[in-house]
Amino acid sequence: MRFASRLHLRYLFFLILLGFLLLSLPIGAATSQAAGQKKPAGQPPMRFILVNRLLCMEDCPGWISAEGRITSDTPVQLRKILKKIGDRKLPIVFRSEGGDVDAAYAMGRMIRKAGLETAVGGTRLKDCPANDPRCDAAIAKDGTALGNTYSDGAYCFSACPLAFAGGTSRVASQWALIGVHQITTVYNKVRVSYRIEYKIVNGKKKEISRKEVGRKSAGQSSSTKLGKKATAALTGYLKEMGVDEDVIGMMMSAAPDSIHIVPSGDGLRTGLMTEMLAFNEWPGMPLCAPDAAAETVCRRRPAAQAPVAASAPVAAAAVQNAAVYGESLPKTQPMDFLLMFNGNCQEECSQWISADGDITPDTPARLKAFLETLDGRKLPIVLQSYGGDLNAAFAMGRMIRAAGLETSVGRTRLPNCPMQDPRCKASMAKSGPTEGEVFAGGAYCFSSCTFVLMGGTPRLVGNSVVGLNQPGKSELTEAEREKFLSYFLEMGVSSDAFDTMMITPPSGRGDLLQYQQMALGIINGAIPYGEEPGLHVCGPGAKESLRCPRNQKAVEIAPAAGLAN
């Protein structure tokens, strides 16, 4: 025993030193981050706020505003807010630069288990300044607040889309950004020092105690290569959430210090998003329940069975749109063309072509015959239509472009016509122009009508609704896709209009805001406030004046009744 003790003391200093120098172990799991070294805004850690919509009296949906960087503590904070809301199904509205991937996985699973919807959007609380839209002063002691959400400029980057993917419904507008990039795995190295005691028994060294006596950071290392374990975790999570593995390819295409913005079409195709928000929907607006009351504030109201017997596919689509959006739409009929005038044509009056109704295969022939009666006069065409035959719309757009005519959207009303039939046949002139008024407000141009609108030079829209949706099916052949892209190129419209078209199902309207129409090139000008579409080309009999700077040659006009149905 004496020999063993002496040997123990002799080697003690050496063994302790060995422990200090050689036992350097990484403590804890490696941290995976989808956020790179450069962060968009240096957000503080994510904070959750329960928000109710401002200026909404009753039956108004609330939401959970989730803004900030995702940290390892964020799932704990989310669990607290979910416990607070109990069984209430409040959507979670994300605005985040990303952060901890493992935390995002945990959040997504919690959201899916709770059956909550997610959206990308920012929240602006009541009376908060522009530079601090979620100011502390607006938040009550119980953690609630009043406010509104917005899409334009909102973002969900890096690890945020992984948490977002947990939603049972996952929505964003075209003007919010979803971005992904490579996952960075950060390894934190820690040098740990131990005091180790041994004893020698029968000539062999045996450890009898080990005690930690210190630890020191030994730096970090990182890697963007997905190991087997990280790949399995990511692939399994996406599958669990119903998201296609193609998202991984998008992530790997962008370095950690850059971002790959996911186009809306790709977001829908991969299941990262389930649908797009319409122009009159906002982040945090929940899906309508099947039994939702008419006054409930919600989106995608279930279509009711309409009693109207529609004879054409476009009429059926119009009835479905009416049910979805809760509107009372007039009975549709094939498009007809009327030469209209407004004002005193002995002094000053404007003339335009009113094109109203469904686009059918024979509509281009009707338009051609009508234009021939004008003897080359270039009158604006004012459209109002739910759409119809796509090939006919392409032909009409090309015909209008070749003739150098202006297009716009407006509803024409004839005198003494009932509200339900504003272009009643009883008020149509039997020959020559028909008197009437035209208004941008309440007018619409949906589906294939928008392709006709694209043919104008110029093409102008005021306070009217323009929309694009899928042409009857969500999957197009390459030849069909090329057909659309060629038409857009021919009309000077951005190819991005194709993705915009494909994100709205055939039953939807796909409403576009005016600046969206302008950005895509669908229109190239706006009708000024206080003016109406088509009211700027004077009739041939008008005197020269400031409103009518040059007199135009009078022409014989074919009877309008002969061209109308």
pLDDT in tens, 179-202: 999 876 655 677 888 888 888 888
Q: pLDDT band at 446, cuts 50/70/90?
A: very high
Q: Using the predicted structure, report yes or no on whether residue 491 has a pLDDT greater than 80.
A: yes
**Are the C-beta atoms of residues 183 and 161 closer than 8 Å to each other?**
no
Q: pLDDT band at 362, cuts 50/70/90?
A: very high
- pLDDT at site 505: 83
458: cis peptide before it, omega within 30°? yes
pLDDT in tens, 448-489: 999 999 999 889 998 899 999 988 766 788 899 999 999 999
φ/ψ of 171, rounded to 5, equals: -130, 155
Instruction: Please identify which residue in the block is written with the tokens 């044509």.
Output: 345
Q: What is the mean pLDDT of residues 143-170?
A: 94
Q: What is the mean pLDDT of residues 377-404?
A: 93
- pLDDT at site 347: 58
Q: DSSP 3-state assignment of 266? A: helix
Residue 302 DSSP symbol: P
Q: Using the predicted structure, report yes or no on whether residue 325 has a pLDDT greater than 50.
A: no
**Residue 243 CB contacts under 8 Å (≥ 6 apart), including other chains:** 165, 270, 271, 272
Q: β-strand 459-461 against 444-445: which pairing, if any? A: unpaired
- pLDDT at site 254: 85
**Are the C-beta atoms of residues 269 and 45 closer than 8 Å to each other?**
no
Please list the residues that pair with 209 across neighbouring strands: 197
Residue 342 DSSP symbol: E
- pLDDT at site 222: 56
Q: What percent of the chain clears pLDDT 90, i.e. is strictly above it?
A: 44
Q: Which of 75-89, 187-201, 231-245, 452-466 is predicted least confidently? A: 187-201
Residue burial 220-233, b: 16+ Cβ < 10 Å; e: rest = eebeeebeeebeeb
- pLDDT at site 335: 94
Q: Which of 117-121, 180-184, 350-354 is predicted least confidently? A: 180-184
- pLDDT at site 374: 87
Q: CA Rg, the chain, in Å?
A: 33
Strongest mean pLDDT among 67-76, 210-219, 346-355: 67-76
Instruction: Please identify which residue in the block is written with the tokens 């009217």.
Output: 464
Residue 397 DSSP symbol: H
Q: Using the predicted structure, report yes or no on whether residue 312 has a pLDDT greater than 90.
A: no
- pLDDT at site 532: 86
- pLDDT at site 409: 95
**Are the C-beta atoms of residues 329 and 358 closer than 8 Å to each other?**
no
Q: What is the mean pLDDT of residues 149-155?
A: 91
